[in-house]
Amino acid sequence: MKTKITLLLAFFFIGVNFGFAQQDEECMTKLSIFHEYTKAKNYDAAYEPWMDVRNKCPKFNNAIYVDGEKILDHKIDNSTGVEKVAFINDLLKLWEQKGEHFASKTPKGEYAAQASQLMYDNRELLNKSDGDLYAAFDAAYKLDKETFTNPKSLYTYFSLMVDLYDAGKKPAADLFNKYDDVVEKVEDEVKNFSEKLNGLIEKEDAGTALTSKEGKYKKYYESYLNAYDQISGSIDGKLGPRANCENLVPIYQRDFEANKGNAIWLQRAAGQMSQKECTDDPLFFKLVNAYHNISPSANSAYYLGLLKDKEGDSNGAIKFYEQAISLESDGFKKSKLYYRIASKLKAKGNYGKARGYYREALKLNPSNGRPYIAIAAMYAASANNCGDSNFDKRAVYWLAADEARKAARVDPTLSKAASQSVANYMAKAPQKSEIFSSGRAGQSISIGCWIGASVTVPNI
C-alpha cells in the first residue's frame, strides 16, 4: 500500500512539473513573439500574445510590464469612448500587478504618481473631480515621497490644491503649507541632480573628457534640471497673488501663538513673508526672533540679517549673513546663501564684495550659472567707470560676455538667456573696424576700479 501511494505521488509531481515546464515553454515562446512585435512598434500584433503571457505567467518576466505599458499606451492613444476607458483602467491595473510581482522594480511613489497623472490627463473621460484627483496625488505623495519625483506630477499636485482653494474647498493655510511642501521637494530634487552634474562639470573643467556613458548622464541630469526650473516658475505663477501680504499676515498672525514653539512652522512662515516682500510688517520681526530663539540656524540668522538691512545697519546685516553661512553645513544650501547675500550686496551697488560671494557660491555649486550672469551684469554696469579711454571702457563688455558664456556652458536652464546676454555685450564691445583702427588686436588691457582684471583684445 505504501509503495502504491509513493508511486502515485511520484507520478503526480512529475505531471505537475511537466505541466509547469510546458507552461514556461509556451510563455517563453509567446514572450519572444510579443517582445519582437513591441520592438518593431507593431503593438496591435503584440497585444494578443502579450495578454496570454500576462494572464498565464504574471511573474515570468518584467518584460510583461515594460512592454505592456507601451502596448496599452498605444491602445489608449488609438481608441475612444468606452474602449479607451477600458484600456486606461487596464494600464492602472497593470501597474498594480507589476508592484505585486516585481516590487523592487516598482517604486511606490513613482508609480502611484504616474497612475494619478494618467487619471488627471483623462479626467473628463473618467469623470474624476478635482477632489478625487487631489486625493490620489496626495496619497501617492504620502505613500512614498522619496520616489514621487516627476516634475509634471509635482506641478499637477500643487495645481489641484490651488483649484480646490479657489473653489472654496481648501483653506488658505492648507494652500500655503502645500506650496511649501512642493517647493521644498523640488529644491531637494534640484540639489540631487545638481550635485550629480557638478561632478561631471568639475571633471570637464579639469580638462578630462567625459566618457560616452557620462555624457549621457550629463544630458539626463540637465534635462531634469530644465524640467524642475520650468515647473518652479509655473508653481509660483499658479500661486500668483493668492500669497500676498494681505493674505499671509492675517493667517500667520492668527496662528502664531499656537505655533511659536514650532520651528518648521516659523521657518516656513518667515520664508513666505521674506519671499513675498512682507518684511516691513512687525509680524516678520516676531516670527524671525521666535524662530532664532528656539532653533538658531542658517535660515534664522539670514532673516535677522534682513531685519538689520531694513534698519539700514549694513554692517550688522553682514555679521548675521556670515553667521548664517557658518551655521549651514550643507554645501548646496550654503551656495544658495552665498548667492542670496551676493544679490543683496549687488542691489546696494557693493559690486566687489558681491562678486566674492558669487564666486563662493560657484565653488560649492558649479552647475548654477546664475552667479556668472550676475557678475556679467555688474561688469556691464561698470563699463563707463572702469577704463581711461572709450575703447578701454567698452572692452569691459568682453569680460561681461566671457562670464555669460560660462553660465551657458554649465547651466542648461540659462542657455537661452545667457546666449542673449553674450550677444548684447558683444554688440556693445569694440567692433572689428574699431579693433583694426586701434591697432591693439591681441593686446591685453588691464581693467581697473573694482573689477581688477585683464582682457585680451580679439584678433581680427
Which of 211, 240, 269 is the last residue in one of the domains? Answer: 240
On whether the CB atoms of residues 126 and 115 are closer than 8 A, the answer is: no
pLDDT tens-place string over residues 156-186: 999 999 999 999 999 999 999 999 999 999 9
Q: What is the DSSP string of 254-320?
A: HHHHHHTT-HHHHHHHHHHHHHTT-TTSHHHHHHHHHHHHHS--HHHHHHHHHHHHHTT-HHHHHHH
- Same domain as 357, residue 300: no
For the cut 80, the answer to whether the pLDDT of residue 343 exceeds it is: yes
Residue 192 belongs to a domain with what CATH number?
1.25.40
Instruction: Report H helices in 40-150.
Output: 43-56, 63-77, 81-101, 108-121, 123-126, 130-143
pLDDT tens-place string over residues 60-79: 999 999 999 999 999 999 99
On whether the CB atoms of residues 264 and 290 are closer than 8 A, the answer is: no
For the cut 60, the answer to whether the pLDDT of residue 9 exceeds it is: no
Nearest to 263 by CA among 236, 234, 303: 303
pLDDT at 17: 37
- Same domain as 265, residue 405: no
For the cut 50, the answer to whether the pLDDT of residue 230 exceeds it is: yes
Which of 262, 294, 327 is the last residue in one of the domains? Answer: 327
- Same domain as 125, residue 108: yes
pLDDT tens-place string over residues 86-130: 999 999 999 999 999 999 999 999 999 999 999 999 999 999 999
Cell numbers 504616474 correspond to 114
Whole-angstrom distance, CA of residue 353 vs CA of residue 356: 5
Task: Show contacts of 350-359: CB within 8 Å, 24+ apart.
Answer: 351/378, 351/381, 351/382, 351/450, 352/450, 354/378, 355/450
In a domain? residue 378 = yes
- Same domain as 208, residue 291: no
In a domain? residue 301 = yes
- Same domain as 322, residue 413: no
Instruction: Look up residue 104 and give its amino acid.
Output: S
- Same domain as 132, residue 113: yes
Whole-angstrom distance, CA of residue 252 vs CA of residue 177: 12
Residue 300 belongs to a domain with what CATH number?
1.25.40.10
In a domain? residue 68 = yes
CA-only gyration radius of the chain, Å: 30
pLDDT at 2: 45
For the cut 60, the answer to whether the pLDDT of residue 257 exceeds it is: yes
Answer with the residue of higher pLDDT: 312 or 74: 74
pLDDT at 7: 39
In a domain? residue 52 = yes
Task: Show contacts of 86-93: CB within 8 Å, 24+ apart.
Answer: 88/118, 88/119, 88/122, 88/125, 88/126, 91/118, 92/118, 92/119
- Same domain as 233, residue 89: yes
- Same domain as 185, residue 253: no
For the cut 70, the answer to whether the pLDDT of residue 223 exceeds it is: yes
In a domain? residue 342 = no
- Same domain as 253, residue 137: no
pTM for the full model? Answer: 0.85
In a domain? residue 14 = no
- Same domain as 307, residue 164: no
Number of domains in the chain: 3
pLDDT at 460: 73
In a domain? residue 9 = no
- Return the C-alpha cell found at 412: 542648461
- Same domain as 251, residue 232: no
Give the range of the structural domain holding residue 306, as residue numbers without chain letter.
Answer: 244-327
Q: How confident is the model at residue 23 (pLDDT cuts 50, 70, 90)?
A: low
Which of 272, 296, 327 is the last residue in one of the domains? Answer: 327
In a domain? residue 268 = yes
- Same domain as 270, residue 399: no
